[in-house]
Amino acid sequence: MKSIRLAEGREASLLRRHPWIFSGAVAEVQGEPAAGETVAVRAADGRFLAWAAYSPRSQIRARVWTFREAEAVEPPFFHRRLAAALARRRALVDPEARTGYRLVFGEADGLPGVVVDRYGDFLVCQFLSAGAEYWREVLLEGLLALVPCRGIHERSDTAARGKEGLAPRSGTARGEAAPEEVEIVEFGCRFGVDVWRGHKTGFYLDQAENRYRLAALCAGARVLNAFSYTGAFTVAALRAGAEQVVEVDSSASALAASARNLARNGLRGERCQQVRADVFELLRRYRAEGKCFDLVILDPPRFADGRAQLPRAARAYKDLVLNAAPLVAPGGLLVNFSCSAAVDPALFQKITADGFLDADREGRAVAYLTQGPDHPVALSFPESLYLKGLVNRVE
């Protein structure tokens, strides 16, 4: 039997059902398991702890499939886990309101390294760990059996694959090739999603509920949408009656996709001004010019991949607040997000407070936002909480 034995006292996190086993916790590997193969994880005293996928190249040496010794890690296991993930979405996501949503969110759905998003009739999947890669065929067949779709596209092309010793892979995995843009509906807004080249699997599905909530605050407002990507917040705001939206992104192709999304929703271009610029520089310029908005949205890319980058990330998040707060009309809202898991909610609030302090403005958080219910947080795996947003009233 292939197995790994943990060093003395290193079983504590597993007993709390955390699914990661770091290389430093492993005392002994028995039976020469291949990458992705299932191993029994045992405590120093030999007691069974879990069945896990072995990953010889990664710092995360194994990821737990199940803590139940009697549960066989075979194809039916993966079908059960996929079916459970789908049942969760059926309970939490209205498929009429949203035709794009996350079906499987890795560890948080008991499938470490596996991400599956649904965009209309297409699925987009990522296999990001040695274990996920090992069971790729079984998972693809399971998805085909459980979810009616025209095709499954693969986007296993993230940096996480490299850490697992896996080469990137992308393209059509099953069925029809996805078109250039797959259309989805999100609370009445229509968006084209480029599953071939877009960020992540093509779209920021994790912000869907937040776009809907913020849209409710947009009637008659002058909105600055910074880090606009393909204009999802812009479309939601304009459809909800925003007077004007200025959207800013450094990517010309993202702005072009946003313009297509405006047209797709029958929105006239004159209410939207597109600015291709660096947000950090533009905020300073707008501040010097005395520009004024009722609602400013800051949704930057991930600034910290891990704890090592925390100080630099904190400075960047603070800089955004410091330079955006002066642009908000008294009584207006500054909504700032962070999708860095390494920045926990308390730290994010502190960084935001520091930005207001240096801007000499008063801020009050009137709502706390996070990732939507299709990106659940497993309580035993706090790393699955990554998106934080503060709706700050500015005075």
370 binds ligand SAH (CB under 6 A): no
| CA dist., res. 287 & res. 387, Å (int) | 27
Give the residue with the Cβ less far from ligand SAH, 166 or 296: 296
Mark 313-352 with x for binding to ligand SAH (rule: CB under 6 A) and - for no binding.
----------------------------------------
**Considering the rule CB under 6 A, would residue 303 count as an interface residue with ligand SAH?**
no
301-339 CB burial, b ≥16 within 10 A, e <16: eebbeeeebeeebbebbbbbbbbbbbbbeeebbbbbbbb
Lay out the site mask for ligand SAH across 169-198 (x = CB under 6 A, - = otherwise): ------------------------------
Q: Which of 251, 265, 309, 380 binds ligand SAH (CB under 6 A)?
A: 251
DSSP summary character for residue 326? G
Judged by beta carbon, residue 301 or residue 330, the one nearer ligand SAH is 301
Residue 322: strand, helix, or coil: helix
Q: Is 339 a catalytic residue?
A: yes
* 269 touches ligand SAH by CB under 6 A: no
- Interatomic CA distance for residues 85 and 103, integer angstroms: 6
Size of the site for ligand SAH (CB under 6 A): 18
Out of 125, 189, 272, 339, the active site residue is 339
Q: Which segments of the chain are extended strands (E)?
A: 3-6, 20-22, 26-30, 38-42, 48-54, 60-66, 100-105, 114-119, 122-127, 151-156, 169-175, 182-186, 189-193, 222-226, 244-249, 272-276, 293-298, 328-338, 363-370, 388-394
CB of 213 to ligand SAH, least distance (A): 13
In whole angstroms, what is the distance from residue 124 CA to residue 117 CA?
A: 5
Contact (CB, 8 A) for 76 and 99: no
Question: Given candidates 65, 122, 227, 293, which one binds ligand SAH under the rule CB under 6 A?
Answer: 227
Out of 54, 101, 134, 229, which residue is the one contacting ligand SAH (CB under 6 A)? Answer: 229
305 touches ligand SAH (CB under 6 A): no
Minimal distance, residue 201 CB to ligand SAH, in Å: 12
The number of beta carbons lying within 10 Å of the beta carbon of residue 70 is 5
CA torsion sign for 208, 170, 196, 309 is positive
d(CA 392, CA 395): 9
Among positions 151, 299, 313, 371, the unique one binding ligand SAH when judged by CB under 6 A: 299
Q: Which of residues 196-215 bind ligand SAH (CB under 6 A)?
A: 204, 207
Q: Which is nearer to ligand SAH, 227 or 317 (CB)?
A: 227
Interface residues toward ligand SAH, by CB under 6 A: 204, 207, 227-230, 232-233, 248-251, 254, 278-280, 299, 301
Q: Tell me the catalytic residues.
A: 339
